Structure 1
Amino acid sequence: MYIIKLDAIDSTNSHLKAMASVALPKDYTVVVAEHQTEGRGQMGTIWQTESGKNLTASVFKKMIGFKVSNQFYISMVVSLAICKVLKTFQIPKISIKWPNDILSADKKICGILIENVIKHNKFQGSVIGFGLNVNQKFFDNLTQASSMSLLTGVLYNKDEVLSKILKELQFYFKLLESQQFEQLKSEYEALLFRKDKPSTFSTSKDETFSGIIKGVSKSGKLKVWTEDEIIKTFDLKELTLLY
């Protein structure tokens, strides 16, 4: 494992992607930054973080020959690894808001951004970025955000948190490499936020409807039991969970 520690950078994911464009980094190469100036989330959103208080890191995982059709399992692996670590730190009511936001109750404490490296239509590896709110106490205009420290009153050692996450990533990637797809999917679905509870959704056409989350497809689409008693699947661009 090779860890690169930086004081400030635009984005740890961008840094690793730039490295991968020249030559594939070693497996589990990690870039950690005390401060990101342009941290990114899903679909181009900005990840806000207070300098030095949180864990902003990216990990390169070699995935030579991995099937592109199975890429959502990488998201499952990362989500499960982080959830498991948070549980060891006694963070309460951990769940995964589809596709891979990590919540404590209904407060977001971790965001994940996965960018796959594919050359000539073949999988080469995955750049796994995550921003975990560790010791930050104040979130301007972010009413749905929280941190490990806010939830427990404890100040955490970020290096210890990172070390545990990397250990669990290795564990879950071994499950993936041994094709334990059903186990991963089952564990992921068991942690899905609002699974089996009536919820309200908004579509990309700004239409709202009620439904019940039943799980995910193998490709990572959300399976929702709708009011007309049909299970429909939606991808990330098609649906927003309103609660």
Structure 2
Amino acid sequence: MYNNPPKTLFVGQKLLFLPECHSTNDIAADLINTASTPEGTVVITSQQTRGRGQRGNSWHTEPGKNLTFSIILKPTFLTVNQQFLLNMAVSLAIHEFLSKYLPQNLSIKWPNDIYWHSQKMGGILIENTIQGLSLTHSIVGIGLNINQKSFTEQPRATSLKLASQPFSNEDEYDLEILLSELLIVFEKFYLLLRNGKTDSLRTYYLRNLYSYGEKRFFVSNGNQFEGTITGVDSQGRLVIEKDNKLCYFFFKEIEFVF
């Protein structure tokens, strides 16, 4: 499985498939210390037993039904203050990849979840290694719900199969084909970032940001309030207009109310 390398320059040209593992991010972290591990190395599994997401949440998926993998990057061109640009590039790559199959109602929920309507289809966990003021390594963990049809532990989750049912005759999507397609798009956006196309990435990110420009309810410090998302600043903080004043939140400081 996963024997055919994608048509990329480096992303996915080296791939390690594990039928089962505790966490692809942890396996990738071990590989970083090996000199023979090139940038773009992918670690993928059919069953992740201790996957994790943002806020320390666990990530549960049905074995063999979804895409669960990590990519090793060396974004030494990014400073510590530019870390969120990598989140933007990765989120946009996944969004563009899925848009081929779901041309409508797909969005990026800040900071880096993938939503279809108001249901979560996937998530990203990026773990950076920093030396001085720059990033030396990044492990990009990606979990995408593809063929799974039941989400008892995550009632607000969905999958590509469920979302595309009205206009797809596929019994099940071929995970190997989808991974190859995704890695091609991933490399495209990573190279845009490396080539300094940050303004374009920011504009595209906001254009596809979940609830951007809409009034909705949030919770911060146990208090619920109504506000409007107006942007994301250079530090990756969500900017919300509340009572005619701009407020800034890191991802652990605020939650959406559904």
What's the counterpart of residue 95 of structure 1?
107
Say whether 1:209 aligns with 2:225. yes
Question: Whole-Å Cα distance in 2 between the matches of residues 121 and 218 of structure 1?
Answer: 16
Q: Report Cα offsets for 1:95-140 as digits up to 9, x if no partner.
A: 0111001000011000100001224554212100010000001111
Could you list the structure 1 runs, at least 4 aligned residues long, displaced by more than 6 angstroms after superposition.
none
Q: Pick one of 227, 234, 242 that aligns with 2:249.
A: 234
Say whether 1:181 aligns with 2:198. yes
Q: Pick one of 60, 63, 76 that aligns with 1:51.
A: 63
The SS at the match of 1:129 is: strand
In structure 2, what residue type is equivalent to 1:123?
L
Alignment of 1:105-144 (within 5 A): 105-120=117-132, 122-144=134-156
How many residues end up aligned between the 2 structures?
241
What's the counterpart of residue 225 of structure 1?
241
Q: Pick one of 77, 92, 103 that aligns with 2:89.
A: 77
Extract unaligned runs of 5+ from structure 2.
1-12
Identity of aligned residues (%): 35
Question: Whole-Å Cα distance in 1 between the matches of residues 50 and 103 of structure 2?
Answer: 28
Q: CA RMSD in A?
A: 1.4
Say whether 1:68 aligns with 2:80. yes
Extract unaligned runs of 5+ from structure 1.
none
In structure 1, what residue type is equivalent to 2:191?
K
In structure 2, what residue type is equivalent to 1:179?
G
Q: Pick one of 201, 213, 222 that aligns with 1:196.
A: 213
Question: Whole-Å Cα distance in 2 between the matches of residues 22 and 121 of structure 1?
Answer: 23
Greater fraction strand: 1
Q: Does structure 1 retain, via aligned residues, the 8 Å contact 2:88–2:202?
A: yes
- CA drift at 1:30: 0.2
Structure 1 residues 141 and 36 mapped into 2: Cα distance closer, same or farther (>3 Å)? closer
Between 14-23 and 141-150, report the one with greater CA deviation. 14-23
- TM-score for the superposition, normalised by structure 1: 0.95
The SS at the match of 2:47 is: strand
- TM-score for the superposition, normalised by structure 2: 0.90
Say whether 1:42 aligns with 2:54. yes
Q: Does structure 2 retain, via aligned residues, the 8 Å contact 1:91–1:151?
A: no
Question: Whole-Å Cα distance in 1 between the matches of residues 194 and 176 of structure 2?
Answer: 27
Structure 1 residues 24 and 13 mapped into 2: Cα distance closer, same or farther (>3 Å)? farther
What's the counterpart of residue 157 of structure 1?
174
Q: Does structure 2 retain, via aligned residues, the 8 Å contact 1:114–1:126?
A: yes
Q: Does structure 1 retain, via aligned residues, the 8 Å contact 2:42–2:70?
A: yes
- CA drift at 1:19: 1.4
- CA drift at 1:90: 2.8
Q: Pick one of 26, 32, 44 that aligns with 1:14.
A: 26
